[in-house]
Structure 1
């Protein structure tokens, strides 16, 4: 083996421009100074990289790589600064101090590189990788401690000052040093470290991270070449050494590339997330825009809907103009027309009717479609319309356009209409005006005339007297226990029971069982709705608690309708929560359904009531969704959980337009994160087709009619029992 080399060098204090007599030594001195400067610059770069990565590296997704890079930068800077200090030392004490730091930096540098390779390959969770990495770090740490016991560290055995001579460039310190056998052994063992780095690089390559794998393997080669060359030199194979100070600089380059690559990946991911967020925002915005458009516009005709009409009516009432009239126009026998001529012809006739209707409503008027066959006109009383308010006689020369026949192929078909008219009064309400117009329209329909015109008059007022008799009976209905609740089940797309809706009935002693349509409008007009609504809430609580106590199998929410009159009460939410507490019923078992006009009056008070109830656990549903009675524009404002699609849309499901409309309503509900319940499902064909539109919740006669409590419990038990078999029962 070739003996360990004895090396000498001299270090000038200043200058790099020698004269001819001192040229060789001065050139060597100048080169050493340049090396020292380069080492200091490298150390400064390492410190700058460390400071930069201490801040920006906190965004790193791999904390192990982040820590390994920091350790590598710290020991790289230590090694470079210590080497520069040693090369510039002018006494043994300074050289010894610098060599100890150099040894610490070199060994720590290898430990950091070892750790970095393991972290980049993602092997820190593998047991064998942890054993190898921790073992290498422990050995290097032990060598660092052992190095402190040596005068010149473990890399050199001795350093001697040969003397100081005066050169043309200034005083020059000359010394010699002898490399240790320990250094040779360490370099031999270091080849195993380069093998580990290459192994980690292959793992990265197999994982698809080819650029990082190439960098890591190239670093291993740069690290291995001087180590192998030095070993060959000491073994006498070659008679020259390969400089071994390149790898720290190359490591800094790799760190910069790795950092830049990680930041690029983070920016790419951020851009992708931003694009996804923008797509989601656009999707939600479009859904809200569609909801707002549907809130004010009838989708089929493009006319304003009843919600928009009610807003304008309130504005006209507030203005105090007593010459404003509300005209309701009903197309007679439209359903029979549809059955006779089909969906396509009926839709075409409706669109042509809409065009004619717009001609009537074009001057200082508002024309609206408020249901399938009902249209409304809010206008200043025209000259063509003569009204005798006392007798209720009316003559209208205006709707000639509507009387002209419609062509269906080569056949002319004449539509007939029923028309109800009323004036808006100074102290009127929208609800009262609509009710008067509805009464006039109902009278026009019952008249049997081809074109029935009825103004709300004395005869209708007398009819109200009969209504008052029924009103008196209704006031006593609660005390006489004549009000009843029937329950209609709700199921999901797999026919599993999910809940029930409580439906009010009146067992009149003389008129028999009355449906809500016969007395709820009367209760609302007479101011009894709040009292009846409170009775319904208490009765539902009692029934729900009884079912839960009796283990009837009821496992779902019990839904009940809430009138807009109840929501107008300032203490509605407080009363409901107190009732639940008194009855000992959990709010999670109830669902409140808003009736068709609940969203028209005082939206701020309604929103506050619903927010408090929903916070307590009560489910909030919007009933009759899409009929024009419900405010779609408030979908994003009110704390809603569920949309209930009206039966009328299921009835029109057989048409292409009906399916498209129903699909859009389901999509709107789903896009806003709301549950959608389809009402009025009567046939299995409807049920199967609705499931294909992603509908999940259903209610209708197909499953069960509204049932008295005892029959409902029997149905629930039979349904639960049958559901354990293969085919759940249908009503």
Structure 2
């Protein structure tokens, strides 16, 4: 029972006790007063009647005696009168039935008033003439007592209702700070730290609120410190201080993660020897300032063309990882890169199209980090050797379809739901079971079975992500995949779905209609949160309010604050695969540990990804992560 109800019940009981006590006192006092009043009236009448009857009794005039008694008896205040003549023993009796108007019969039957009699002997000097007995009629008492009681009950009822409603609203106003404190405590329990609570006027509550505000501020500071620690570690270990760009270590990690997922794109490696000329002419300070300005310009210009990661991997070497694009966009990216570099070369007083070279290597088929780095470096060395501005590492692989063919075939296959599924178990540590199953899909395009790495770049390019997600989710429901296992099924959402209001509306209707919404998990890429924070907040609210779950994919990949975890409150996070080789690199180890501590501090499950073997998994056990995923437990085909 809540404190409000306890206090309300206590006041209700006390007030009811007071009302009952007052009612009882009023009843007994009124009854006593009416009884005494009837006894007094009976005495007066008995004495008066005795004096009036003396002459008639002395003369034996019975008619006069009856007349005198009838005058008094007909007033209705007496139930019975008995007159016994002592001379001859003759007895006369007058009776009045108990009939009381405006008083319920059940009240009369309570026999509240007992029989009130008055007996007297009428004398004349020493001579006894007659014996007179008068019994009072209780009608007056019942009538007056009922009238007083009904009036009292009405007044007390009105006071009782007024007091109860006043107490309810009064207690609500007095206890409002406690209610706010309770709601704030729930938010803190969910690791949501809002503004400080206002101080109430009640002194006792003021001390409680002050203590709670102090505790909340300390907890908020702890999590802010963890976030700052992650930021500091990233800046220390993964950022090149001269350029402000990611360093070689970060780029290698991103390459590892990128190549382990179905994706497309290319790696550009560039060598800017003109920076060495700037160094020799103007010194290292001017060189570093030139590098900083060049980095800012490259970031500004190239991010408008395609999503990319720009890193400084050596003194005069830069790497550019371009993802989720086709060859035409890669060419446009290369042209923008060359134009931007030439602009900066001219500003530095050097000759354009000289003293720099770029090597390009596309992602083709199954590659590892060494393969694509070697191809990009070979292309760079060939450009330097031949004195060219760039060299594109050519492959013999032909494009499956043109852009329009991709549009036509993807639209047809997605709307017809020509999906093939595999799912990969995400296992809890110590073989404690399966946390969830992540779903992977392929598409049947005519007679070809195309995996996600081939068609997803075109899905994003052609803005078909929301359509793909909607049809995929509907297919999962129609094929009854949710009923096959007790574990939830994790579905990756595309970037377009995160910010598409129509998809949000459709998903809300779907989840409301689904009886197994609690068995669906949605993986939201961390990059989507940084690019569309408000839209992601709306989507996450829809998912949570309808009983489904969501988590953050590629957790720790992006540079930025982890404060979004407090706003979104995901059920789990999946560490980026660049951390899969935790403990092999001291810097990577520190950052990984800090990221896990941030998530665990918010009571968010942490899933390690990219696990290939048991020895690799054992390195994560000291971090007390929740589950793991990788080819240590490979994906399994799903029969539709």
User: TM-score, normalised to structure 1's length?
Assistant: 0.41
Larger Rg: 2
User: TM-score, normalised to structure 2's length?
Assistant: 0.47
**Bigger relative contact order, structure 1 or 2, given CA contacts below 8 A and separation 6+?**
2
